[in-house]
Chains A and B, each alone.
Chain A
C-alpha cells in the first residue's frame, strides 16, 4: 500500500530545563486514504510527534518520509514548500489571520504556492468553502465569524492546495459537540470523496472511535 507519511526510529529530546526524552523510537506510517487518530494522555508526546511529522519541528533524530521521499535534513525553504504543497494543518485554536477576509485566508497558501492564477485560486477557494457549507462567509473578516465557522475556514484553508495529508492538533478540542460532530463528518466526507489521508491528534474518544485507526501513545512510545 502507498504510504503518504512514514516515520522511522524517531527520537526527540527536550534539552531544557533538563534533558528529557519525549519520543522514543517512533515507527509508524499513514497510508493513502487512511483516517488515523493519535490518542494518549497529556504529556505523552503526541503533539510533539505531530509537529515533527508536520515538518515544522526539525530538531529530532530518525527519518521522516513524505510520499516515500526522505525529508529529514532538507533545507527550511524546501520544507516550507513541502508543507505548503502536501500538508494541510488544522490547529486546536482556529488560527486564522484576523485582519484578512475569510476568502483571503483560504486563498493564502495557494497564492504562496503560486501554481495557479489568482482567478482560479479564488474559484477553488469558494468551491472549498462550499464543500464545508460556508461559502456565504467568504467576504467576511476572519475576526467576525464564530468559533465553529473559524475552524471550518481553517479546514478549507488546509485543503486549498489539495494536500496529500491533512493534520490536526485537536481540531475539535475547542468546539462544542455539535460543531465537533460537524468537523468529524467533514473529515470523513473528505476522505471518501477525495481520498484524503488524515492524521489527527485528539483527546476525544468518540471522535477517535469513528476513525479508521487509533494510534495510542504513552510515555513517548506508540503502544498499538
Chain B
C-alpha cells in the first residue's frame, strides 16, 4: 500500500515536471477517442436515420392475401393420374378475394399475443384522382390513423395538418405531396377520387403526406378506414391488410411463418421485405467499424511512441531508482502508472470531446426533401461508444505503456551508471 503511494508519487512528479509532453500524450488519446466517438455516433446516427426511413413505416409483419397460383393444381387430386408425370401449361393465378377472411377475429387474436405491440387493419384500394379531365392513378389506404401515429410514427410523415385532423373528418384525405403539387391543391380544397368501378367521391384535404420517397408520394393518399370501406361499399369487416408491430423485431420471422401456416395468408416480415436494404445497413456498419478500428489503432501507436520516448529519457532515473532499492517491478509500475494516468485523463477528455462534437453536429442544420422530419444531422448518443472508447483508451495505454515499461524493468542499472 505504502509502496503504491510512493510509486504513484514518483509517476505524478514525472508527469507534472514534463507537463508539456504529458499534455501531448494525453491529447493523443483524447483526439483518438474523441474522434472515435464522434465518428461512430455520427455514422451510426446516419445509419439509424436510413434504417428508420424504411423501418419506421414498414410493419414488422405485413399480412395480406396474395394473388398466386394454387400450389396444388386440380390434376394432382385426381387419382387416375397419381402415378403419371403431369405438365400443366399456362397456370393462372387462383381467384381469391382481396379481403382477409375473418380479419377482425384474427386481429383480436394477434392483439392478445404478448409479443405483439399492435395489429392494425388497413384497406388498400386502387383509385384515380380526378383533376379536370385528367385521371391520375394512385392508391388510397384506409387506416386507423391514431393508432398508425402511435405505432408507425405516422405523424412524422404528415405535412401541415395532424393525424387528429383526419380522424375528426369523415370525408378527410391526407393527400400525397407529389399529387398535391401536380394538382395544385391546398389544405381545405376538395379532391375527387374515382374507384375502379367508376363511382366518384369528393374528399376534403386535411393534410399532406410525405414519405420522402418520391414514387410513393406521387400516388399514395390516406383516409380513415371507415371512409374507404364506405367508398367501396364494403362492411366494417372488410380488411385487405393487417400490419403488425412487435416489441422485438427479431421475432418477426418466426411469427410470420406461424401466421402463414395457421391462417393460410401471406405474412412477410420486415427483414425479408427489405433484404437488399439490410445488406446496405450491414456494409455501412462494416465501414463504421473499419474506420473506428483504424482510428483507435493510430491513437494506440501514438501513445506507444510517446511513452517509449518518455522512458528513454528517464533511463538515468531508472538506474538510480534501482540502485537505491526499487525492484524492477516497482520501476515498471512507475511507468505503467504514468501510462495509465495519461490514458485515464486523455480518455475522459476524449469522452467529453466526443460528446461535445456530437452535440455540435446535432445542431448543424440538415434539410432534405427526402426526410421531412429531419432538421439537423442525426447522431447516435449510444452509451456503448463511450464505454468502448474509455475501455480502449485504458487498454491501449496499458499496452502502449506495458512494453516500454517491461524494458525499464529489465534495464541493467550497472550499464547505465558505468556508462557502458
Contact = CB atoms under 8 A, between A and B. Distances in A.
A190 to B, nearest CB: 18
Interface in B10-53: 10, 13-14, 17-18
A157 B323 CA distance: 11
Contacts of A97: 10, 317, 320-321
A114 B2 CA distance: 6
Interface in A75-119: 76-77, 80-81, 83-85, 89, 91, 95-100, 104, 108-109, 111-114
A206 B316 CA distance: 30
A34 interface: no
Interface stretch (A50-58, A144-152, A210-218): A50-58
Contacts of A89: 323-324
A54 B6 contact: no
B300 interface: no
A84 B325 contact: yes
A96 B324 CA distance: 11
A108 B6 contact: yes
A169 interface: yes
Given A99-B13, A111-B6, A76 B418 contact: no
A112 B330 contact: yes
B289 interface: no
Given A47-B418, A91-B417, A100-B13, A83 B2 contact: no
A113 B17 CA distance: 25
Interface residues of B, number: 29
Contacts, number: 76
Nearest to A117: B2
Nearest to A114: B2
Interface in B327-345: 327-330
A13 to B, nearest CB: 15
A42 B278 CA distance: 78
A134 B320 CA distance: 21
A85 B323 contact: no
Interface string B352-384: 000000000000000000000000000000000
Nearest to B5: A111
B289 to A, nearest CB: 42
Contacts of A96: 320
B319 A95 contact: yes
Contacts of B330: 80, 112
Contacts of B326: 80, 84, 112
The interface residues of chain A, by DSSP majority, are classed as helix
A99 B14 contact: yes
Given A91-B417, A111-B6, A112-B330, A83 B325 contact: yes
A18 B256 CA distance: 81
Nearest to A93: B417
A58 to B, nearest CB: 10
B412 to A, nearest CB: 8
Given A84-B325, A91-B417, A99-B13, A112 B320 contact: no
A57 B324 CA distance: 14
A113 B6 CA distance: 10
Contacts of B418: 47, 51
Interface in A19-78: 47, 51, 54, 56-57, 76-77
B190 interface: no
A158 B162 CA distance: 85
A198 to B, nearest CB: 17
Contacts of A85: 325
Contact of B324 (A47, A77, A112, A169): A112
Interface of A: 47, 51, 54, 56-57, 76-77, 80-81, 83-85, 89, 91, 95-100, 104, 108-109, 111-114, 157-158, 161, 169
25 contacts: A47-B418, A51-B414, A51-B418, A56-B322, A76-B327, A77-B327, A80-B325, A81-B327, A89-B324, A97-B10, A97-B317, A98-B317, A99-B17, A99-B18, A100-B13, A108-B6, A108-B324, A111-B5, A111-B6, A112-B3, A112-B324, A112-B326, A113-B325, A157-B324, A158-B324
Given A56-B323, A77-B327, 8 more contacts: A54-B323, A77-B329, A80-B322, A84-B326, A91-B323, A95-B319, A99-B14, A109-B324
